[in-house]
Structure 1
Amino acid sequence: MRFIAAHHLVFCFASLLFVSTATAQWHRQAFQTLGTQAYIELWSEDSTLASQLILDVQAEFERINQLMSPYIASSELSLLNRQAASAPVQVSAEMYQLLQQARQISELSNGAFDITFASVGFYYDYRARLKPDAAQLQQGRQLVNYQSVELLPGNTVRYRQAGIKIDLGGIAKGYAVERGILLLAARGIKHAQLTAGGDSRLLGDKAGKPWLVGIKHPRQDDKYAATLPLENTAISTSGDYERFFIEEGVRYHHILDPKTGQSAAGALSVSVTGPDTTQTDALSTTLFVLGLQQGLALIELIDGYEAIFIDANRQMYFSSGLTP
C-alpha cells in the first residue's frame, strides 16, 4: 500500500542500498515500506539473530502501515476520517499518543505543522498532475485547523466539522523508524542504521567511525549538498523534489502550507537532526513550511535539535549548534 513519502535523504553508502547479503558481521537489507525505499544495516555476530531482527523490523513497519495509512480502508486513520465527525471514535493508545505529539508540534509552530492539511491535500495528485481548482481550494482550506481534532479522554477522538481529513505522512514514517531502532536496541544491537525515505536513525557508530550521511542536492540527483558525520542520532530531510509536478513554471509539491493549502515556498530542502526520529520527521516538515527566518528561530528554541536549510537561491544555512 502507498503511504505519503514526505522526505528524501541519501546515505553515502548508496552502492549498498540494494544489497541484501551479509558481509563479515554487517547485515544489510533493502525493502519497500510505507510507500518508499527503506534500508537496514546492523552489526551482529549472530547471523540467525540478524536475519530475524531484519524481518521483525519489516513487520513493525507493516504493522504501523496497517494502523496509520490513509490508503488502507481498515486502518485507524481511515476509520477516523470516516466516522470522527459524526461521533467520538476510540483509537489505540499508540495512535492517540502520536496524535498528541502532532498536536504539540502544531502548537509549538502556530499551526505550521497541521495533520488536517489532508482536508485540502487530498485534492492533489502529483502523478496525475492534478491540483484543486479555486472552489476546492477555498473549501478545503476552511477545514484545515489542527484544533478541530479533539483529543478526548479514554483515547477517543472527535472532529468538529464534517469533511475534515487527517494524514500522518509528516510524522508516522519517522515514528516507524524510531520504533524499529528501539526494537534493535532492545535485542542487544549496538550499531545500526535504519532509513525510510528521508527519515533515518543511527544506533551507535559504524565500526569506530561516524556514519556518513549525505543530504541530497535538491536540484541534482547525482550530487550531495552536504555530508554529515553522525553517531547515535536521527536525521530527517524534507524537500520540494520528492513528489511534484511543474505547470506553467510553477512547482506544485507535496509539502503544503496549512494556511494557504498550496505548496510551501521559500526553501528547497530542510534537514533536522536530533535524538528522536518522530520529532525530526515532523520538525523538518514544520521548518520547511515556516521558511528560513522563522524556521531557524524555532529550531533554536528546541534543545538537542539542529537544522540545515537550503533556500531558493541554493544557499545553505545552519542552526547555531552545527558547524558547516
Structure 2
Amino acid sequence: MRRLLGLIIAAASLLLAGCGADPLYKQEGYVFGTRVEVSIWGLPQQDAARHVAVILADLDRLNAKLHAWQPSDITRLNAHFGRNESGNADTELIALLKQAKDYEARSDGLFNPAIGGLVTAWGFHRDTFSPVTPDPVTLAILLERKPSLADVEFGDGGVVSSRNPAVNIDLGGFAKGWALDREAAYLRKNRVYNALLNIGGNVLALGKKGNEPWTIGLQHPRQPQAMATLALRDGEAIGTSGDYQRYFIKDGRRYSHLIDPRSGSPAQTMEAATVLAPPSREAGAISDAATKPVFIGGIGHARHYAQRFGISEVLIVANDGSVYITPALQSRLKWLIQPPHLYRLH
C-alpha cells in the first residue's frame, strides 16, 4: 500500500512539473548579417532545442554558401561570369536561381538579383560602409550593360553561364525569405506545427502560440519601436523593405541599399514597404522578394506589383510619414503609433 501510495505521489509530482514547464522555447542567433529568432510552442524543451539547433546550423550553411562579398558559391560564380566563363552550381543553388529569375520577370526587373555590381559601387557589399557615392562613369557603364538574371542560362550537369559579363548575383533580396520556407518545411516534416521563424524581420508563422495566434510588431521606420501589431495566421509570411535597415546619410540625404535597377541609384520613393504573403510553399520567398518592386516602383504602382505575386495585403510608409494600406490589412492591424495620415492603397 505504501509502495502504491509512493508511486501515485511520484506520478503526481511529475504531472505537476510537466504542467509548470514553459511550453514556449525561444532562441536567438545572428545569420545573414541580422538577428534570427526561432520560437517553438508545445514541445519538450529538449526536443525544441534540438530542432532550433538544426535550423540555426542550416542558416549558417546557407549564409556561407550565398554570401555576396565573402568567398562563397555566389562569389565564385560571379567571378566566372566576369571572365565570360561557365561555372557550376549544385541543385539547391540552381533551384534558388531559377526561382529568383521567375520573380525578376514578375517584377518587370525591379527585383533584380543580378545588379550586385551596383550594390558594390554604392559601398553596400561590406560589413561596414561609409557615406560615399560612386563614380558616375562606373554607374553609366553598369546601366548600359543592363545585367539581369534573364542573361543566365542553365546547362546539363549543373553548368551555369551568363551571356552578360556584368551579371553579378546578389541574392540578399530574397535569401532570407527563401530560408524561411526551407526551415518551415523542415519543421513540418518533423511534425512541428506551432512555430514562429524570424530572420531579420522576415517572419513566417506555423500554427499558433497555444490558444492564441502568433502576434508580431511592425517596425516604425523612423522610431525605435513598433508602429502596429498583427496576428499572423498559419502559413502566412510577412516581409518589409525599408530605407532604415542598411543606409548612410550624406549631405543630409539618405541612401539605402535598395537600388533601383533603372537609375542605378538607391530608390527614394518611400520609407518602408510591407507585404503579407498568403500561405504557400513559397510564402517566405514571396514576402521577401515582392517588397522590392513595391518599394522601388513607388506608391502608385505598389498594388500592381503586389498582385503580381498574389498579395492583397500591403502597407506603405511614405516619405512624409503618411501610411497607405490595403483594406484587407488595415482590418487586421492594431495601431501602437497612430499615423499622421492614413490612406487607402488603390
TM-score range, shorter chain: 0.7 to 0.9
User: Secondary structure in 2 aligned to 1:190?
Assistant: coil
Instruction: Please state whether the residue corresponding to 1:205 is helix, strand or coil.
Output: coil
Determine whether 1:225 maps to 2:227: yes
Highest relative contact order (Cα 8 Å, sep 6+), 1 or 2? 1
> For the structure 1 residues 66 and 149, does the alpha-carbon distance in structure 2 shift closer, same or farther, using more than 3 Å as the test?
farther
Pick the aligned partner of 1:28 from 26, 29, 45.
Answer: 26
Give the aligned partner of residue 322 of structure 2: 315
The aligned runs of 1:290-305 (5 Å cut-off) are: 290-305=297-312
**Does residue 306 of the first structure (1) align with residue 313 of the second (2)?**
yes
Does the 8 Å contact 1:300/1:320 carry over to 2? no
Aligned residues: 301
The alpha carbon displacement at 1:47 in A equals: 2.2
Match of 1:185 in 2: 188
1:248–1:23 Cα change, 3 Å: farther
TM-superposed CA distance for 1:156, in Å, is 2.8
C-alpha offsets along residues 71-96 of structure 1, whole Å, 9 cap, x if unaligned? Answer: 331x2211110113422222112111
Give the TM-score normalised by the residue count of structure 2: 0.82
What is aligned with 2:9?
none
Tell me the residue number matched to 2:89: 91
Contact kept, 8 Å, 1:218 with 1:269, in 2: the verdict is: yes
Distance 1:293 1:63 in 2: 39
Change in 2 beyond 3 A, CA 1:148/1:103: closer
SS in 1 for 2:30: strand
Partner Cα separation in structure 2 for residue 45 and residue 97 of structure 1: 32
Structure showing greater Rg: 2
Cα distance between partner residues in 1 of 2:312 and 2:92:
24
Distance, in Å, in 2 between the alignment partners of 1:304 and 1:243 is 25
Give the share of equivalent positions with the same residue, in percent. Answer: 27
Cα distance in 2, alignment partners of residues 300 and 175 from structure 1: 19
CA distance in 1, matches of 2:30, 2:119: 24
Q: Quote the RMSD (CA, aligned, Å).
A: 1.9
- Superposed, 1:73-222 pairs within 5 Å as 73=71, 75-85=72-82, 86-125=84-123, 127-147=129-149, 149-154=151-156, 155-221=158-224
Q: Which residue of 1 aligns with 2:289?
A: 282
Q: 1:76 to 1:228 in 2, by over 3 A?
A: same
8 Å contact kept, 1:113–1:285: yes
Amino acid in the other structure paired with 2:117: S
Distance of 1:142 and 1:52 partners within structure 2: 50
Q: Of Structure 1 and Structure 2, which has the larger fraction of its residues in helix? A: 2
Deviation at 1:142, TM superposition (A): 2.6
Query: Which whole-Å CA distance do the structure 1 matches of 2:107 and 2:287 have between them?
Result: 14
With 287-296 and 119-128 compared, the bigger mean Cα shift is at 119-128
Q: Which of the numbers 259, 262, 265 marks the counterpart of 1:259?
A: 262
Q: Which amino acid aligns with 1:306?
A: E
Separation in structure 1 between the aligned mates of residue 68 and residue 308 of structure 2, nearest angstrom: 32
TM normalised by structure 1 equals 0.87
